[in-house]
Amino acid sequence: MSDASSKRWDLPNAPTAHTLPRDVPTAVAKVLVNRGVDTAEKLRLLLDPPQQLPYNPQRMAGMDRAVGRLHQALNQGEKVGIFGDFDVDGVTGTAILGEGLGELGISVLPYLPHRVEEGHGLSGAAIQYLVGQGVSLIITVDTGVTAVTEVAEARRLGADVIITDHHVPQPELPDAVATIDPNLPGCSYPFAGLCGAGLAFKLMQGMYQFLGQPWNPALLELAALGTIADLVPLVDENRFLVQQGLIELSQTQRPGLLALFQRSRVDPKHLDTETISFQVSPRLNSAGRMGHAEDSYRLLTTRSTSEGDMLADSLDQLNRTRREASDKALDIAFGQIEQKYSAGPLPPILFVGDPGIVPGVAGLVAGRLAETYRRPAVAMSMSMEDGKVVASGRSIPQFDIEEAFGSAQHLLVKYGGHSQAAGFTVTREQLPQVISVLSEVAERELADCDLRPALKIDAEVNLEEFSQDALHWLSQLEPFGQANPRPLFLSRGLEVLESRTMGSTSQHVKLLVSQEGKVMTALAFNQAQGWPQGASHLDLAYTINADWWHGVKSDNLKVVDVRPANG
Least confident segment among 273-282, 286-295, 331-340, 342-351:
342-351
With H, G, I as helix, E, B as strand and everything else as coil, classify residue 5.
coil
State yes or no: pLDDT of 466 exceeds 60.
yes
Contact 416/120 with Cβ under 8 angstroms? Answer: yes
The pLDDT assigned to 4 comes to 47
pLDDT of res. 6: 66
Q: What is the DSSP string of 510-543?
A: EEEEEETTEEEEEEETT--TT--TT-SEEEEEEE
Cis upstream peptide for 54 (omega within 30°)? yes
3-48, pLDDT tens digit by residue? 445 688 999 887 778 999 999 999 999 999 999 999 999 999 888 8
Residues 6+ apart with CB under 8 A from 487: 31, 458, 459, 474, 477, 543, 544
Give 254-300 pLDDT, tens digit per residue. 999 999 999 999 999 999 999 999 999 999 999 999 999 999 999 99
- For the residues of 436-484, what is the DSSP string, one character each? HHHHHHHHHHTTT---S-EEE--EE--GGG--HHHHHHHHHTPSPBTTB
For a pLDDT cut of 70, what percent of the chain falls above it? 98
Mean pLDDT of 220-248: 96
For 217, residues 6+ apart whose C-beta sits below 8 A from its C-beta are: 244, 248
Q: What pLDDT sits at residue 3?
A: 46
Q: For residues 132, 137, 141 and 146, what is the CA-based torsion angle, rounded to 10 degrees? A: 90
* Burial readout 372-381 (b: 16 or more C-beta within 10 A, e: otherwise): bbbbbbbbbb
**Alpha helix stretches (DSSP H) within 48-115:** 63-76, 88-103
pLDDT tens-digit readout, 516-556: 999 999 999 989 988 998 899 999 999 999 887 777 888 99
- Spell out where 41-198 has E strands: 79-84, 107-111, 135-141, 160-164, 178-180
Pairing mode, strands 388-394 and 107-111: unpaired
What pTM was computed for the model?
A: 0.90
In this predicted model, what pLDDT tens digit does every residue of 308-324 receive, in sequence order? 999 999 999 999 999 99
SS3 state at 16: coil
- Region 485-493: what's the mean pLDDT? 96
Pair 93, 197: CB distance under 8 Å? yes
pLDDT recorded at residue 32: 95
d(CA 56, CA 69): 19
Which helix (H) or strand (E) segment holds residue 307: the answer is helix 305-341
pLDDT bin (cut points 50, 70, 90) of residue 120 is: confident
Where do the domains of the chain lie, and which CATH numbers do they carry? 8-46+457-564 (2.40.50.460), 57-222 (3.90.1640.30), 250-341 (no CATH), 345-445 (3.10.310.30)
- Helix boundaries (H) for 218-304: 219-229, 236-249, 255-263, 273-275, 281-290, 294-301
Nearest Cα neighbor of 80 from 135, 159, 162, 140 is 135
d(CA 152, CA 161): 9
Degrees, nearest 5: CA angle 207-209-212: 115
Query: Model confidence over 50-89: pLDDT tens digits?
Result: 778 899 999 999 999 999 999 999 999 999 999 999 999 9
Q: What is the 3-state secondary structure (H, E, C) of 394-433?
A: ECCCCCCHHHHHHCCHHHCCEEEECCCEEEEEEECCCHHH
Average of per-residue pLDDT across 351-357: 95
Whole-angstrom Cα distance, residue 567 to residue 559? Answer: 17
Rounded Cα distance between 362 and 390, Å, is: 9
Q: Of 88, 421, 46, 319, which is closest to residue 223 (Cα–Cα)?
A: 88
Degrees to nearest 5, angle at CA 300 with 295 and 305: 90
Q: What is the pLDDT of residues 377-412, one digit of tens each?
A: 999 998 756 788 999 999 998 999 999 999 999 999
pLDDT value of position 384:
59
Mean local confidence (pLDDT), 352-373: 93
